[in-house]
Structure 1
Amino acid sequence: MPQVSFNVLFNKLLETAPSITTQKVYSLLEEAYTRRVNDLPASIKLAEEALGISKELDDKACMGKSLSHLSLFHMIIGDFDLSINMAKEAIEIFEEIDDEKGIADAKYTIAGALYKTDDYNLGLAYLIDCLTTYNKLEDHHNKARVEKSMGTIYEFFGDVESAIKAYKSAIESGKEANDLNLQSNAFNPLSGIYLNKGKIADAMDLIEQSIRFKKEKNDVRGLAFALYGRGKVFTITKEFEKAEADFLEAEKIHLEMGEKLGLAMCYHKRGALYIKMDRLQEAEEILVKALEYSNKHRIVLIKFKANLLLHEIAKKQGDFELALKYLQQYINEKESVINDRTAKVIESYDVINKMHRLEQDARIQKEKADLIEKKKLELDSFFYRISHDLKGPITSLMSLNYVAKLEVKDETAIRFIDDYEKQANRLNTILDGLLRLTKMSFNEDSKQEIDFEKIIYDCIASYKFLANYEKVEFKIDVDQSIKFEAEWALINTIFQNLIENGIKYARIEDNEPFIALTVKQQGDEIIIDSTDNGIGMDQETVDKIFTMFFRVNRKIEGTGLGLHILKRATERLNGNVQVNSKIGEGTTFRITLPK
């Protein structure tokens, strides 16, 4: 047998050592992933060990996979900020080494952290990216995970049919991967949908099957979610003691596993159960706990649900002020997450294939809107500069006119000077209007509490110089209990223009002219109504009155800017204005402002 030198053996050992150590990293990560279902602290410890070895080796692939696994485990236990940071670090590494699957795995974790807190829309975008990659790679295991998560988001948005399709697709992908855990993960929420549809037997069959699978695979964390699902069924069938036992057992597991979302869900459902059992004190205690816990960990889904149930309890206890507080919090929390734009996007499961095109269209529309807004600001800036620059010369001309009237005695000359004064005053009024209009785009006045009654009477007094003023009756009705904060100048502008138009267009000859101004609150809105019995308008005129420089009646003095300014001021306050008018009968303006 030939002799092999020590150096040759040593060099061969050096050549094989890295691959052996790399294999250890993969073994550690595989074990960590397997143990995530029943021992997350051990999973984290194993992944940290793998990361340490990877850094010693300076192996990019191993570092990326270790970080990706760690981010997943921290996402599961609710350390969302840490999870996202680790996932982003992993993505940078995977992009450097061109690991497409690694990028998708890390994005899946980010999506989980986002949709479990308060950003469903961005979470969905990440999931769609992941699904595209997993479909391409025919990775059924990860495809099942993504589809189940997408079902959760669809369900949250109220798109139940798309949620069912996503859950069923996740089950099929789980079967392709030959993984009972993946299948049963989708059984749990699907059972809940069947329960909401009144299919109680189907819901129970599915959740019992999930419990069997979880026990068979020793998925302790998944078992807690399955027990929670069965507790919901028992609540509906009024087997309250069984429901309570399931919720408490699920809570115990979630506490041991560090599963924050699952624990918050159990708190919420146990509160709902106690309301049904008329144990209101216990219900309030556990729901306040759910609310505090959800606030701490940014679990918006449970925050607004807990507020709704606390609202119900407060009503039952006769504390209507507290009930209103919880109801308002519920509305605010829900609206902060579910907005019209997102709800419209989530129309069907086919959105996955259309999303990129929709996003591209949205970008184009946004670019157009930005361009229009830029041009509008440029136009406002132009008006502002011109109006401001002309203001000085016009003031000088008006002053010269005043001096001329003092010096000139000739009647014909005085008549010409009067005509000149009228035109100078008209030009000055137009400039004032343009300056008010453009200041809305550039000024950010601080908000203050609005005294509607004072503003109205001050505006009325400021128009004593108008010809019809003395003949018009003003009817004022302001709800004194209204508390409203806004930019004073904008509210003042609205009433100035309403009152000025009502006086100018009053019918004096065959009428007892009036302007009725009312301010009231309806729900979360302030309603301002201005009704007069003036000359009125036809519908064609109504459609044009907010156009800049449009004048209803050329015989009546005006600049055609007043109503345009009124509309801009209303829009600046995020409100809207409606007009109803009939020729010879009068006009009503209704302005609605959100509180």
Structure 2
Amino acid sequence: MLNTVNTIEQKLVEAYSIRINNLTKSIIIANQALKASLFINDKTLIGKSYSQLALYHMIVGEMQKAKQYSERAIEIFNELGDERGVADAKYGLAGVYYKTNQYHLGLIHFSDALKIYKKYNDYYNQSRAEKSLGTIFECIGDATSAFKVYKSAIRNAKKIKDLNLESNVYNNLSGILTKKGKIYFAKQIINKSIELKSQTDDMRGMAYALYGKGKVYHFCKEYTKAKELYNKSLDIHKKMGENTGVVMTMTKLAALYFETQQVDKALQFAQEGLLLGESLQFSMCTIKLNRIIYLIYKSLGDYEKALHYFENHLSEKERVINTQTLKVIESYELIARMEKIENEAILQREKQKILEKKNLDELENYKRKQEFLSIMSHEIRTPLNAIVASLVLLDDKIVNEGKKIIRNLKFASDNLISVVNDVLDFNRLDGQNVKLELVSTNINFLCQNTVEVFERFANAKNIELKYISTVNISNYYLIDPTKLTQILNNLINNAIKFTDKGSVQLEIKIVDCGEQKDLISFKITDTGEGISQENLPRIFDSFSQLKPYLTRKHGGTGLGLAIVKRLIELHKSTITVESKLYKGTSFYFELELEKSEEIIIKVNDKQQLIGKKVLIVDDTKMNGMLLSKLLRKWSMEIQYVDGGKKAIEIVKYQKFDFILMDIHMPEMNGFEVSKEIKMTPNLNIQTPIFALTADILADADQNFKKYFSGIIFKPFDIDKLYNLLVTYGD
């Protein structure tokens, strides 16, 4: 089915390649590509399809269709910011304009396209655009400019060894030399054009080359040779359905027959050509054909008809000249600017090189920072995982005073994890790699639970912790609960940290109630030490610590409020702060939240994991041992291996319900092992694999979702681990 990007692109390439011999089929294939592109809604391919169809319809003389398709392509490529797509579409539109004698618009659009092609060193399209510009210069009587751009077009065609392009320009160049009476050179060049067309099997191009050679013989009054060449050209044009070529050749044949006093044939070709030319709005030829018919009737003594066609000739010529001359003069400064385009292109390329190097340096710096943070995360969180897992296992065995020690150790490890997370979260926000992940959430439950987390901290300082809400208890909204919790955690934690007596309060209320959305305000107030007016402007700065490191009594990275500010900006909102020294501080922000319904979540049955088979792959044996003990508490059957190669072997003959895969391992990392399991025959191709890692940036890898069903960060959150396994164990 024609619906994949690659297939559509192949179709467009095919349509373009066969246009020289089968234009009708090119149109059919391009229409198929357009239909398929619209079906998959790929705007780039839609634009390319329109652009190609415009070219083909212009060639067959369907100018209105060609114009519509070109304008649609330009609109799409402008939306995408695709300069080269815009250039291709403008090239097609320029062809329509100059063939309908709107030379000023053709001149402008060809020049615009050429400038872009030069910017990207696109020699193929430079040659095409220069050849077309030369044609316009010829039409407005500027043979010098035409000759100049033709020479440039030939140079560019030779750079890429495109014989068809080279041949096309030779044809036009021959015409200029013929008009100047340089017949020897004109014949040499047109013969070269025909020779190249024979090599490339370009039938459409051959028709124009034969037409060009016919013009040389016609100029020399070698009528028999000229007529033979014109007729060969006409046959090919008719066969290819190229109506503009048909009209051009009929015009020359009508003139030839009149000059050789074959009046009946002259009138036949002139009238047929005029009828077709008028349907195409091809004034370039209809002006000449009206004059030929006028001369024919005048020679026959039919002065009434002669006068009619002479008036048509004059009125159309006057119309074209009057509408074009001023516009061409106004646009003619573009011709002078042509000489500057090359220099502009060189300058643009140099600027582009500098910009690309700068961007590359920035990208390298960003990658190095990411790599450092990934390593730091792994190196800190891996030993922490062993500590936390050990504490969980010891918690069931320790009593009395030992429980307090366990709690203190857990609190200390949580603080260290918080510091690591602050640095990593800030890095993600700094790199703009974060998006909101909205789920239906009861906002009161979220806020109440967040406050309850800090009750022990507040009680230890003898501070009253309050939560006040005027939002209906049953209200659900589309919220990113993780990010909103992170905002509130940072603000409440800071408030308690900097308050020695009094209270800390979270208050939420609906500021504005809408049909689909509510505007909800959040206010966190404390009675702490406050912030001076001097320091207020910089509290949201990264790594901001208002007291020197050696004298401050509160821990932290200085990133908490910077993270809060960026997370609130991610919600398209802002945070404000009011504070008085020794009286307290108040933080305030508003979020516009979309209303939603409660989602009923199935309660996990604790019996579901009994007997489930798990493969643990981790090169750190301590981690493997601790995780094995933890999973056995849930009555699961455990198989542990300490490397990727062992894992690949064991999955071939033993079926598992889950695989827990460490990411950072020697020999083969977790991505490589998981890819091998998913892509090669074994018993566990469909088994869910969970990334087991201390690297909090691991899930940013573009291949993560291909190979993993989920991620479990070290140190493990026991509840999250349990719920994840139960969810996939259904």
| TM-score relative to the length of structure 1 | 0.54
- Counterparts of 1:164-563 in structure 2 under 5 Å? 164-339=147-322, 340-344=325-329, 345-346=331-332, 349-352=335-338
CA distance in 1, matches of 2:77, 2:26: 22
- Give the C-alpha shift of residue 192 in structure 1: 1.1
Partner of residue 82 from structure 1, selected from 65, 69, 82: 65
Counterpart residue type for residue 183 of structure 1: E
Asked if the contact 2:103/2:328 (under 8 Å) is kept, the reply is no
2:96 maps to 1:110 = no
Q: Deviation per CA, 1:327-366, whole angstroms, max 9, x where unpaired?
A: 33222212222243145354784243689xxxxxxxxxxx
Asked if the contact 1:140/1:176 (under 8 Å) is kept, the reply is yes
Q: Deviation per CA, 1:446-474, whole angstroms, max 9, x where unpaired?
A: xxxxxxxxxxxxxxxxxxxxxxxxxxxxx
Asked if the contact 2:294/2:310 (under 8 Å) is kept, the reply is yes
- Give the C-alpha shift of residue 41 in structure 1: 1.4
Q: Which residue of 1 aligns with 2:19?
A: 36
Q: Deviation per CA, 1:36-71, whole angstroms, max 9, x where unpaired?
A: 111111211222222232223221111111221122
Asked if the contact 1:157/1:338 (under 8 Å) is kept, the reply is no
- Give the C-alpha shift of residue 223 in structure 1: 0.5
CA distance in 2, matches of 1:296, 1:44: 20
CA distance in 2, matches of 1:335, 1:160: 22
CA distance in 1, matches of 2:274, 2:340: 37
Q: Which residue of 1 aligns with 2:36?
A: 53
Q: Which moved more, 1:113-122 or 1:232-241?
A: 232-241
Asked if the contact 2:251/2:288 (under 8 Å) is kept, the reply is yes
Asked if the contact 2:174/2:186 (under 8 Å) is kept, the reply is yes
Change (3 A) 1:328 1:343: farther
Counterpart residue type for residue 294 of structure 1: G
Q: Deviation per CA, 1:175-205, whole angstroms, max 9, x where unpaired?
A: 1232111111111121111111111111111
Counterpart residue type for residue 328 of structure 1: E
- Give the C-alpha shift of residue 118 in structure 1: 3.2
Asked if the contact 2:23/2:56 (under 8 Å) is kept, the reply is yes
CA distance in 2, matches of 1:328, 1:151: 31
CA distance in 2, matches of 1:154, 1:334: 18
Q: Which residue of 1 aligns with 2:10?
A: 27
Counterpart residue type for residue 270 of structure 2: L
Asked if the contact 1:120/1:337 (under 8 Å) is kept, the reply is no
SS in 2 for 1:238: coil
Counterpart residue type for residue 352 of structure 1: M
- Give the C-alpha shift of residue 296 in structure 1: 1.2
Q: Deviation per CA, 1:120-146, whole angstroms, max 9, x where unpaired?
A: 211211111111111111111111111
Q: Which moved more, 1:217-226 or 1:284-293?
A: 284-293
Asked if the contact 1:311/1:324 (under 8 Å) is kept, the reply is yes
CA distance in 2, matches of 1:119, 1:237: 31
Counterpart residue type for residue 350 of structure 1: A
Larger Rg: 2
CA distance in 1, matches of 2:312, 2:235: 29
Change (3 A) 1:353 1:210: closer
- Give the C-alpha shift of residue 213 in structure 1: 0.9
Q: Which residue of 2 aligns with 1:144?
A: 127
SS in 1 for 2:4: helix
Counterpart residue type for residue 251 of structure 1: L
SS in 1 for 2:141: coil
Change (3 A) 1:350 1:176: farther
- Give the C-alpha shift of residue 272 in structure 1: 1.0
Partner of residue 96 from structure 1, selected from 59, 79, 88: 79
Q: Deviation per CA, 1:513-571, whole angstroms, max 9, x where unpaired?
A: xxxxxxxxxxxxxxxxxxxxxxxxxxxxxxxxxxxxxxxxxxxxxxxxxxxxxxxxxxx
CA distance in 2, matches of 1:75, 1:84: 8
Q: Where is the helix percentage greater, Structure 1 or Structure 2?
A: 1
Aligned residues: CA RMSD: 2.1
CA distance in 1, matches of 2:63, 2:334: 29
Q: Which residue of 1 aligns with 2:46?
A: 63
Counterpart residue type for residue 130 of structure 1: A
CA distance in 1, matches of 2:333, 2:176: 18
- Give the C-alpha shift of residue 226 in structure 1: 0.6
Q: Which moved more, 1:244-253 or 1:231-240?
A: 231-240
Change (3 A) 1:353 1:236: closer
Asked if the contact 2:111/2:334 (under 8 Å) is kept, the reply is no
Counterpart residue type for residue 230 of structure 1: K
- Give the C-alpha shift of residue 315 in structure 1: 3.0
CA distance in 1, matches of 2:255, 2:307: 19
- Give the C-alpha shift of residue 157 in structure 1: 0.8
Asked if the contact 2:44/2:77 (under 8 Å) is kept, the reply is yes
- Give the C-alpha shift of residue 317 in structure 1: 2.4
For this pair of structures, how many residues does the alignment match?
A: 338
CA distance in 1, matches of 2:248, 2:302: 26
CA distance in 2, matches of 1:171, 1:108: 18
Counterpart residue type for residue 166 of structure 2: Q
Q: Deviation per CA, 1:388-409, whole angstroms, max 9, x where unpaired?
A: xxxxxxxxxxxxxxxxxxxxxx
State the percentage of identical aligned residues.
41
| TM-score relative to the length of structure 2 | 0.45
Counterpart residue type for residue 138 of structure 1: N
CA distance in 2, matches of 1:39, 1:208: 24
Counterpart residue type for residue 307 of structure 2: L
Partner of residue 156 from structure 1, selected from 139, 142, 153: 139
Q: Which residue of 2 aligns with 1:423?
A: none
* Gapped regions of structure 2 (runs ≥ 5): 342-730
Change (3 A) 1:245 1:347: farther
